[in-house]
């Protein structure tokens, strides 16, 4: 097994040698943006990877248009997960942009999922130092913190302003991450991707420079 370069190599090795890993996001594309390369490496290493996504991301439209957007984003989430490897995806139906009103029931759902799959590691939004302060991101982080209390799994945060773990991405992992993001076609149309893709590559490169590699994802 090839262990990615990291400033915490023992943890990186432990993650890749895990039996099961659970990633929790507020919307379709959250996990790919911050953890896509790691997910690819885990799936490649034979880790049983699961996603739990709280909403289907339909708030950008109203009425039937919103329902259609939710269906599209659900399909895109499944496609993105397939690009990253063998990933089990659970899509919930909590209201997009109103997740803060559902923290307790979401925490219950997350806890049930944790008990069902018994992951070694749980990855979720950082509840304390969140990089992208969308209210749904914070709500998902808070729900996960409640749900993971007492769990045997080690919780690792993504989307954090204060990372202390850098994990390198080789070209295959980087390319899979990019392809998985482009699979979210409603969120990464070409005119938007021209800007967001450039910013993402710049951040991956900056994080990679911290451990003398081309690209890296960061966690806390």
8 class by beta-carbon count within 10 Å (0-12 exposed, 13-18 middle, 19+ buried): middle
d(CA 106, CA 100): 10
CA 137 to chain centroid, in Å, comes to 11
**Mean per-residue pLDDT for 44-61?**
90
d(CA 211, CA 209): 5
Residue 192 lies inside a defined structural domain of this protein? yes
Reported as a single tens digit per residue, the pLDDT across 144-160 is 999 999 999 999 999 99
Range of the domain at 100: 9-219
Single pTM value for the model: 0.95
Residue 2 lies inside a defined structural domain of this protein? no
Domain count, the chain: 1
CATH code of 115's domain: 3.40.50.10320
Residue 1 lies inside a defined structural domain of this protein? no
Residue 127 lies inside a defined structural domain of this protein? yes
B/e letters for 76-100, b = 16+ CB within 10 Å, e = fewer, are bbeebbebbbebebbbbebebbebe
Reported as a single tens digit per residue, the pLDDT across 3-42 is 899 999 999 999 999 999 999 999 999 999 999 999 999 9
Q: Do residues 73 and 56 touch, judged by C-beta distance below 8 A?
A: yes
Reported as a single tens digit per residue, the pLDDT across 80-107 is 999 999 999 999 999 999 999 999 999 9
Q: Do residues 42 and 21 touch, judged by C-beta distance below 8 A?
A: yes
pLDDT band of 64, cuts 50, 70, 90: confident
**Mean per-residue pLDDT for 132-138?**
93
Question: Strands 215-219, 165-169: parallel, antiparallel or unpaired by DSSP?
Answer: antiparallel
pLDDT value of position 61: 62
Residues sharing a CB contact under 8 Å with residue 197, sequence separation 6 or more, in sequence order: 178, 181, 188
Residue 60 lies inside a defined structural domain of this protein? yes
Residue 99 lies inside a defined structural domain of this protein? yes
Residue 48 lies inside a defined structural domain of this protein? yes
pLDDT band of 60, cuts 50, 70, 90: low
Give, as one character, the DSSP assignment of residue 102: G
């Amino acid at each position: 097994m090839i262990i990615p370069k990291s400033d915490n190599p023992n943890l990186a090795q432990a993650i890749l040698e895990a039996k099961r890993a659970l990633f929790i996001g507020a919307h379709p594309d959250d996990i790919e943006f911050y953890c896509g390369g790691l997910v690819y490496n885990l799936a490649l290493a034979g880790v049983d990877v699961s996603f739990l996504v709280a909403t289907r991301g339909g708030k950008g439209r109203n009425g039937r248009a919103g329902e259609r957007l939710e269906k599209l984003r659900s399909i895109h989430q499944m496609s993105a997960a397939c690009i990253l490897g063998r990933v089990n995806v659970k899509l919930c139906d909590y209201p997009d942009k109103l997740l803060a009103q559902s923290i307790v029931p979401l925490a219950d759902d997350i806890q049930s999922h944790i008990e069902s799959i018994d992951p070694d590691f749980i990855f979720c939004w950082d509840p304390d130092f969140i990089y992208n302060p969308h209210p749904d991101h914070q709500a998902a982080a808070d729900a996960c913190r409640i749900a993971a209390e007492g769990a045997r799994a080690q919780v690792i945060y993504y989307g954090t302003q204060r990372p202390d773990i850098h994990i390198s991405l080789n070209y295959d992992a980087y390319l899979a991450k990019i392809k998985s993001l482009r699979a979210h076609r409603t969120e990464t149309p070409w005119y938007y991707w021209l800007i967001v893709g450039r910013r993402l590559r710049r951040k991956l490169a900056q994080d990679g420079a911290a451990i003398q590699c081309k690209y890296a994802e960061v966690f806390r």
